[in-house]
Chains A and B, each alone.
Chain A
Amino acid sequence: TQLLEQSPQFLSIQEGENLTVYCNSSSVFSSLQWYRQEPGEGPVLLVTVVTGGEVKKLKRLTFQFGDARKDSSLHITAAQPGDTGLYLCAGAIYGGSQGNLIFGKGTKLSVKP
C-alpha cells in the first residue's frame, strides 16, 4: 500500500509568519502535485513538480520535490489570512497513471489576522 504522509495535520499561525508543510513516502512518484481546497469545493491545483530536486515558486509559495522523488515540501512566506484552507499533496506512482493519485490527508491551515 502506497502512503503519502503529510504533516502537520493542523496549523494555526499569525499573519506574517512563515510555515512549511511536508509530504513523505517510501514510494517513488513520477510527479507530485499540491492542491488547495476550500470547504465544499474540489481541490484546485497549485503546482506540479516532475523532476527530482525541482523547486517551483508561486508568489509567496515555494514547492520542492525531493531528489529521490519520494518527498515534497510547501513553504509559505509571510502568510496571509487569504492563505487559509486545506492543502493537499498528491503523487502519481512511477509507471502508473496520472489519473490515479495518492493523496495525503491534508494540512488544515488557519492564518489569523
Chain B
Amino acid sequence: DAGVTQSPTHLIKTRGQQVTLRCSPISGHKSVSWYQQVLGQGPQFIFQYYEKEERGRGNFPDRFSARQFPNYSSELNVNALLLGDSALYLCASSLALGVLSSGANVLTFGAGSRLTVL
C-alpha cells in the first residue's frame, strides 16, 4: 500500500513567485495536514483539511492557502514567495480528525517538498 506521496520533491523559485505543492494521502485517509519545517527546527503546523473542509490553521500569513479535493488529495499554495519561505513542506494524512481512544489515529508523513527561494 502506497504511503503519503508528495510532489515535487525539490523546487527552486525566486522571490515574489507563486508555488503549488501537491499531496496524495494514504488510501482511506480523509484528513490531510500540512507542515513547514525550516532547517534545524521541528515541523510547524500550517493547515488541516478533513472531508474537504479546513479544520485548522496555524500562525501563517494569508499568502498560504490550501484545498482538499473529493479524492482527499490536497494542494498547498504559497503566493508572493519570500526568502524565509525556504523550507521542507511536509504533508501528513490520518484516518480521522479527532483522537481515537486506542491512539491509532496517528499522522503518517510524506517525504516532503524541499522549496528553495532565491
* Minimum Cβ distance to chain A for residue B90 (Å): 5
Residues of A within 8 A of B97 (CB): 97-99
Choose from A43, A48, A50, A96 the contact partner of B109 (Cβ within 8 Å): A43
Tell me how many residues of A have a C-beta within 8 Å of chain B: 28
Chain B residues lying within 8 Å of A102, measured Cβ to Cβ, are 45
Instruction: Looking at the assembled complex, report how far the CB atom of A41 sits from the nearest CB atom of chain B, in whole angstroms.
Output: 5
- Counting residue pairs across A and B whose Cβ atoms lie within 8 Å, the total is 88
State which of A12-20, A77-85, A103-111 sits at the interface with chain B. Answer: A103-111
B73 at the interface (CB under 8 A from A): no
Chain B contact-residue range equals 35 or more
Inter-chain contact B41/A98, CB cutoff 8 Å: no
Q: Which of A33, A88, A100, A105 sits near B56, CB closer than 8 Å?
A: A100
A104 contacts across to B, CB distance below 8 A: 42
Cβ contacts A1-44/B at 8 Å (1 or 0 each)? 00000100000000000000000000000110101000011111
Once the chains are docked, how many angstroms separate the CA of A88 from the CA of B31?
22
Q: Is B48 an interface residue (CB 8 A)?
A: yes
| Chain B residues within 8 Å of A, Cβ to Cβ | 4, 31-33, 35, 40-45, 48, 50, 55-56, 58, 88, 90, 92, 94, 96-99, 101-112, 114
Q: A interface vs B, CB < 8 Å?
A: 6, 30-31, 33, 35, 40-45, 48-50, 88, 90, 92, 96-106
Sort A-B residue pairs by CB-CB distance and give the 8 closest, nearest first: A103-B42, A42-B109, A99-B48, A50-B103, A99-B33, A48-B103, A100-B56, A30-B99
